[in-house]
Amino acid sequence: TDSVLESLDLSSNKLEDELPDSLGMLHNLQYVNLEFNNFSGKIPESIGKLSSLKTLNLSYNNMIGPIPDTLGQLFELVHLDLYGNSWDGILTESHFTNLTRLRSIDVSTYRPMSLIVKLTHEWIPPFKLYTVGITNCSVGPKFPAWLQLQTELSDVTLRSTGIWGTIPEEWLLKVSLQLKYLDLSYNHIRGRLPLQLKCPTLYHIDLSYNRFDGPLPLLSANLTIFNLES
C-alpha cells in the first residue's frame, strides 16, 4: 500500500548515513526537508518516484556525487535546494526537462568547479524561476543563454562560476525591475553597467572580483549591501 506521509521534516538534527532507496516508496510526499544534518553519499535514483514532491531541501549536509537525472521526473517540484554539499558530475537538460513548476533552485557546492552546469545554447527552459543560486559550479565561459530566458528573477547568485565577457544588457534591464538580490562575484565579467539600470527593490549587490569599468548607475535607495571590492 502507498504511504500516506505527505511531509517529512528532519532538519537541524545530527542524522547520518546515506539516504535509503526506500525513500522512493513514499509516493505521497510533497515536502522533504533534511537540511542541517550529516547525511552522506548520493541522492538515491529512486527520488524520481516521488511524483507529488513540491519541495526538496538537502542543503548543509555532507552529500557527494552526481545528481541523478531522475530528478527530472519530479513534475510537481517547485523548490529545489541542494546548497552546501560536495556535488560533482554534470547537470544537463534531462535534469530539468519536465520541471515546469520549478520556481527556485540552488545547486551551490563546496568543491570548486566539480559540478558542471551544461545546458546547451539552444535549450529553452520549461520553468520561470524567481530564485537561482549557483556557487562554485562551472557555468561559463559565456553568460548562460538559458538564464537570459528567465525574466521573473528576484534573487540571482552566480558566484565563482567561470563566466567571462559581458552581462547581456537587455536581460539585465528587464530583470532589474524586480531584482532584490544580485551576486555575480568571483567571475571574469567585464564592461559597464547600463546607466539606465532601474533597481527599485534591490537591497544587495555584490559585483566584487570582476572587471567592470565605467560610471555607476543610480541604484535603489533600499540598498544595504554594495560590494565592488577589487
What are the tens digits of pLDDT across the range 13-53? 999 999 999 999 999 999 999 999 999 999 999 999 999 99
Q: What would the mean pLDDT of 82-105 be, rounded to a whole number?
A: 96
User: What is the per-residue pLDDT across 174-204, written as a single tens digit (0 to 9) for each?
Assistant: 999 999 999 999 999 999 999 888 899 999 9
Mean pLDDT value of segment 206-223: 91
Using 50, 70 and 90 to split pLDDT, how confident is the model at 2? low
- What is the SS3 assignment for 130-158? CEEEEECEECCCCCCHHHHCCCCCCEEEE
Segment 115-134 shows an average pLDDT of: 96
The order of strands in the sheet holding 89-91 is: 89-91, 115-117, 137-138
SS3 171: helix
Query: Which segment, 75-79, 198-202, 216-220, is predicted with the most confidence on average?
Result: 75-79
Predicted TM-score (pTM) of this structure: 0.94
Strands 225-227 and 79-81: unpaired
Is the pLDDT at 163 greater than 90? The verdict is yes
pLDDT at 221: 86
- Angular region, 162: left φ>0, alpha ψ -120 to 50, beta rest: left
pLDDT band of 123, cuts 50, 70, 90: very high
